[in-house]
C-alpha cells in the first residue's frame, strides 16, 4: 500500500469509478481547489479522499474504497492520512457531511455537531448547501496544533531506518518531529553515515534506539522499512497511520568494497525517492 497525491485530470476515470461505487458524486472542482490523496496497490487506485480547504478549516470529502478492499482497514488508513495532511498544513478543524457513515467517522475521532455550529465558510459550501443537503449529518474533528510525530521502524535501527529518518527529517523540516527505532539496537552503521554524507546529509548524531523507548509517545505515522520489523514490532500506543515498504539491507552485501558501496548507494537512493514521494503525498512542498 502506498500513499500518493492524485492528479484528478490523470486519474479521472479511476476516481469517478471509486466514487460511483460508494454512491458519491464527483465534486465540482471549479468551486474550490481540492487536495486529492489516494492509496494504491501497484498502479491501481484502491481508495481516495479529498480535502477542500476553507481558510483555516477544511472539508473532508469523497472518502471511498474499492469494493473488494473494504473492511480491510484501508478506509481508516486513508482518513488518518487526510488528518495528518491537514495537520501538516496547519489547518484548525476538519468538517464533513455523511448520510451513512456516522459510525465509521466516529471511530476515527470525528464528533457529530449541529449545523448551527458550522463556520460560515463550511455552512455555505456547495457540499453543505447542494451536494449533501439537510439530511446529511455534520461532523468535525479539531486538529492538534502540536507538530505531528513520525516513527521509522527497522530491525536494528542501524541502516535503513536511519537513512529514512534522515531524509524525512530533511524533507519535512519544522513540519514534523521524526524518530527512528528498532526492535533491536545494532548501532548506527558507519557506512550508512558515509553514504548519507555523500548526498549532503549528516546523520552521525543519530542514535540507535529500541522502539519501546518511545512507548510514551503517540505517533501519527509509523513507517516500517523492513519486513522483519513489521512482523515483530511490539504494540505501540495511539492509533497511527501505518505504512510499510521493504528495502534491501545493504549491510548484508558481500564482496568488494565497491560492491558494498554500490549496495548502500542503491538502498539510499530508493529510500530517498520513497521519502520524497511520501512527503509530497502528505501535502508538503519540497
Catalytic residue flag (residue 226): yes
Contact criterion met (CB below 8 Å) for 230 and 159: no
Which among 48, 159, 233, 275 is annotated as catalytic? 233
Which among 48, 132, 154, 275 is annotated as catalytic? 154
Q: Which residue has the cell 510499510?
A: 244
Which among 48, 132, 159, 226 is annotated as catalytic? 226
Pairing of strands 177-182, 149-154: parallel
Catalytic residue flag (residue 233): yes
Longest dimension (CA), the chain: 70
Catalytic residue flag (residue 154): yes
Active site residues: 154, 226, 233
Amino acid at each position: 500500500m502506498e500513499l500518493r497525491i492524485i492528479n484528478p485530470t490523470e486519474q479521472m476515470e479511476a476516481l469517478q469509478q471509486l466514487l460511483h461505487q460508494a454512491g458519491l458524486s464527483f465534486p465540482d472542482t471549479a468551486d474550490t481547489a481540492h487536495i486529492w490523496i489516494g492509496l494504491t496497490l501497484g498502479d491501481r487506485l484502491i481508495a481516495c479522499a479529498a480535502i477542500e480547504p476553507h481558510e483555516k478549516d477544511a472539508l473532508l470529502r469523497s472518502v471511498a474504497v474499492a469494493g473488494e478492499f473494504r473492511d480491510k482497514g484501508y478506509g481508516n488508513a486513508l482518513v488518518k492520512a487526510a488528518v495528518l495532511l491537514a495537520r501538516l498544513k496547519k489547518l484548525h478543524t476538519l468538517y464533513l457531511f455523511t448520510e451513512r457513515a456516522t459510525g465509521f467517522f466516529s471511530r476515527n475521532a470525528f464528533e457529530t455537531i449541529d449545523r448551527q455550529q458550522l463556520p460560515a465558510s463550511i455552512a455555505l459550501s456547495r457540499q453543505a448547501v447542494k451536494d449533501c443537503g439537510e439530511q446529511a449529518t455534520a461532523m468535525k474533528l479539531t486538529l492538534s496544533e502540536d507538530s505531528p510525530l513520525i516513527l521509522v521502524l527497522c530491525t536494528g535501527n542501524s541502516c535503513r531506518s536511519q537513512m529514512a529518518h534522515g531524509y524525512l527529517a530533511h524533507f519535512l523540516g519544522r513540519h514534523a518531529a521524526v524518530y527512528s527505532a528498532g526492535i533491536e539496537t545494532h548501532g548506527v552503521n558507519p557506512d550508512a553515515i558515509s553514504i548519507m554524507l555523500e548526498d549532503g546529509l549528516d546523520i552521525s548524531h543519530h542514535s540507535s534506539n529500541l522502539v519501546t523507548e518511545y512507548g510514551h509517545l503517540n505517533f501519527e505515522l509509523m513507517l516500517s522499512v523492513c519486513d522483519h520489523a513489521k512482523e515483530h514490532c511490539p504494540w505501540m500506543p495511539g492509533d497511527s497511520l501505518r505504512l510499510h515498504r521493504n528495502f534491501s539491507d545493504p549491510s548484508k552485501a558481500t564482496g568488494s568494497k565497491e560492491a558494498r558501496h554500490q549496495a548502500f548507494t542503491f538502498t539510499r537512493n530508493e529510500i530517498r525517492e520513497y521519502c520524497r514521494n511520501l512527503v509530497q503525498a502528505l501535502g508538503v512542498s519540497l
